[in-house]
Structure 1
Amino acid sequence: MTGRRALVKGAALRLARAGVASPEHDAAELLAHVLGTTRGNLPLSDEVDAAQAAAYEDLVGRREAREPLQHLVGSAAFRYVELAVGPGVFTPRPETELLAGWGVDRARDVLASGRTPVVVDLCTGSGAIALSLATEVPEAVVHAVELSEDAFVWAQRNLAGSGVDLRQGDLADAFPDLDGTVDVLLCNPPYIPLEAYESVAQEARDHDPHLALFSGDDGLDAIRALEVTAARLLRDGGVVGAEHADVQGEVAPAVFRRTGRWREVTDHDDLAGRNRYLTARLAR
């Protein structure tokens, strides 16, 4: 038998040396996963048996090699939902919860006006944004699209039974049947410049699908396509929200401003005060 406290302390030291950003958190999460509980319900005064210690050692070694924590435990929390994630799908980040929350508020605005909100989530990945909208605004009609075949399988799993209309396809030509009818359009597109490959965190660069990360020489190819699609899908006065890199707080909104099709083009910070997502309202 081995003490839990000693196990977690030793694992945290190893993860810190490996460059993991949150070593104590991850070490405790992995042990909770092995023991079938949550980190909040993990008493460190108890001991683990040899089989549990061996399973923990395997997971710590994989995290030490920078395999994402969410892949090791098989899930990721996002706002009020839990998503199944693994190889082949982008792991949802806490920063994107702010964009989803903005979308929830805008959908509720439409509902308060007496109409049923129509919401579209482009580049849905795991289905995180779409599932949040369907869960928090159950009256909304939610549509989602994903290009990657691998990610689409994960989205199918996460959105099963949610009522979300999930389709496989490209954001550039998605949902022609919804042209001019959408109230709220949300997207977490790829936005990393190809030249920034080496600067991307190892967990993302080695394990997230590159289709969900990189978007041309300046990182704006998908955002430019999104602007065109949003103008096609949204009804007059409809709104769009899109995540971008923290260094794109000027250039990403400029994609929308320069077309003359949008008003109220605004950039928003994340909880760390970094530029994170833009919003705009269609004005034909």
Structure 2
Amino acid sequence: MQEFAPPPTFPALVTTLRAAGCVFAEDEAELLLSAAADPAELAVMLERRTAGFPLEHVIGWAEFCGLRFAVDPGVFVPRRRTELLVRQAASLAPDRAVVVDLCCGTGALGRALTSSLPEAELHAADVDPAAVRCARRNVGAGGTVYEGDLFAPLPRSLRGKVDVLLANVPYVPTDDVELLPAEARVHEPRVALDGGSDGLDVMRRVVAEANDWLAPGGSMLVETSERQAARAAETVGSGGLVARVVDSEELYATVVIGTRPR
């Protein structure tokens, strides 16, 4: 008669995760236990996590702005620090906002914003087909997700009508990508990480067209690093937008906001 190993206990999970370098081993153990349907699935999840897969890819979801979003394998994981961008967008958006979420990944940013704006209109886009499939699941009937590069797939009818433009563009300088944790470097798409030689190449492309898409008084919001903020704000300003920088020590996050003059 075949004998099966008993499922790992909570302390055993914590020990294994901590040995693999998981800083928040207790929290992760709880999530794995709650996500696994049976001991066999738990064992597979534990193996994948200790092999370096992002926790969100292992359990299949991420919490962002108090909501749960599906995260498929190979799709960029929404970061908690990016909640600053959504908070700032919420403070600027009218009730019936037209919202565009570029480089949308899972679609978490746009959906989190419009969840508090029931009359908003959401359009999201990403160049990665896997991200588009994931975003469509998360957005559902709450908006439309397009596949394509930046503004290219969006309806031309949106030109000059966008109240809030979320652009969580990649901003890691090319030479720094190899310095990222393996979770990101190995398991997330490079197109979602690599921002070019100084990290601002994709942002420049967004800025070059943003003024044509924003409504008068509308705002573009991009995340960047603290060291890139001054140059990013200068770039946003060069695109005809009024730029300002918002920092959060709590989230260790920096957002550059560019507003089209009325």
Normalising by the residue count of structure 2, what TM-score does the alignment of the two structures yield? 0.90
2:240 to 253, 261, 278: 261
Q: Which amino acid aligns with 2:74?
A: G
Q: How far apart are the structure 1 equivalents of 2:251 and 2:144?
A: 34
Q: How far apart are the structure 2 equivalents of 1:11 and 1:246?
A: 36
Is 2:42 aligned against 1:56?
yes
Secondary structure of 2:75 counterpart: coil
In structure 2, the residue matched to 1:216 is: 196
In structure 2, the residue matched to 1:44 is: none
Is 2:89 aligned against 1:119?
no
Q: How far apart are the structure 2 equivalents of 1:75 and 1:260?
A: 36
**Residues 124-203 of structure 1 aligned to structure 2 (within 5 Å):** 124-162=104-142, 164-175=143-154, 176-203=156-183
Q: Which amino acid aligns with 2:64?
A: F
Contact 1:133 1:140 (8 Å CA) reproduced: no
1:86 to 47, 69, 72: 72
Q: Where does structure 1 lack aligned partners over 5 or more consecutive residues?
A: 36-50
In structure 2, the residue matched to 1:206 is: 186
2:231 to 251, 271, 274: 251
> What do residues 160-180 of structure 1 show as CA deviations (whole Å, max 9, x unaligned)?
121x12211111535333111
TM-aligned CA deviation for residue 143 of structure 1: 1.2
TM-aligned CA deviation for residue 2 of structure 1: 9.2
Q: Which amino acid aligns with 1:19?
A: G
**Residues 1-80 of structure 1 aligned to structure 2 (within 5 Å):** 7-34=9-36, 52=39, 54-80=40-66
Q: How far apart are the structure 2 equivalents of 1:183 and 1:95?
A: 23
> What do residues 129-152 of structure 1 show as CA deviations (whole Å, max 9, x unaligned)?
121123110111111111111111
Give structure 1 regions of 4+ aligned residues with deviation exceeding 4 angstroms: 1-4
Q: How far apart are the structure 2 equivalents of 1:182 and 1:24?
A: 43
Q: How far apart are the structure 1 equivalents of 2:151 and 2:115?
A: 26
Secondary structure of 1:120 counterpart: strand
Q: How far apart are the structure 1 equivalents of 2:45 and 2:145?
A: 33
> What do residues 89-129 of structure 1 show as CA deviations (whole Å, max 9, x unaligned)?
1111111112112212211xx23xxxx32111111111111
Relative distance call for 1:247 and 1:22 in structure 2 (3 A) is farther
Secondary structure of 2:228 counterpart: coil
Q: Which amino acid aligns with 1:182?
A: V
TM-aligned CA deviation for residue 82 of structure 1: 1.6
Q: How far apart are the structure 2 equivalents of 1:70 and 1:105?
A: 28
Q: CA RMSD in A?
A: 2.2
Contact 1:123 1:171 (8 Å CA) reproduced: yes
In structure 2, the residue matched to 1:282 is: 260
Q: How far apart are the structure 2 equivalents of 1:27 and 1:80?
A: 20
Contact 1:90 1:208 (8 Å CA) reproduced: yes
Q: How far apart are the structure 2 equivalents of 1:94 and 1:133?
A: 14
Q: How far apart are the structure 2 equivalents of 1:234 and 1:136?
A: 21
Contact 2:84 2:251 (8 Å CA) reproduced: no
Secondary structure of 1:254 counterpart: helix
Contact 1:267 1:275 (8 Å CA) reproduced: no
Relative distance call for 1:178 and 1:64 in structure 2 (3 A) is same
In structure 2, the residue matched to 1:43 is: none
Secondary structure of 1:9 counterpart: helix
Contact 2:71 2:134 (8 Å CA) reproduced: yes
Relative distance call for 1:119 and 1:181 in structure 2 (3 A) is same
Contact 2:81 2:253 (8 Å CA) reproduced: no
Normalising by the residue count of structure 1, what TM-score does the alignment of the two structures yield? 0.83
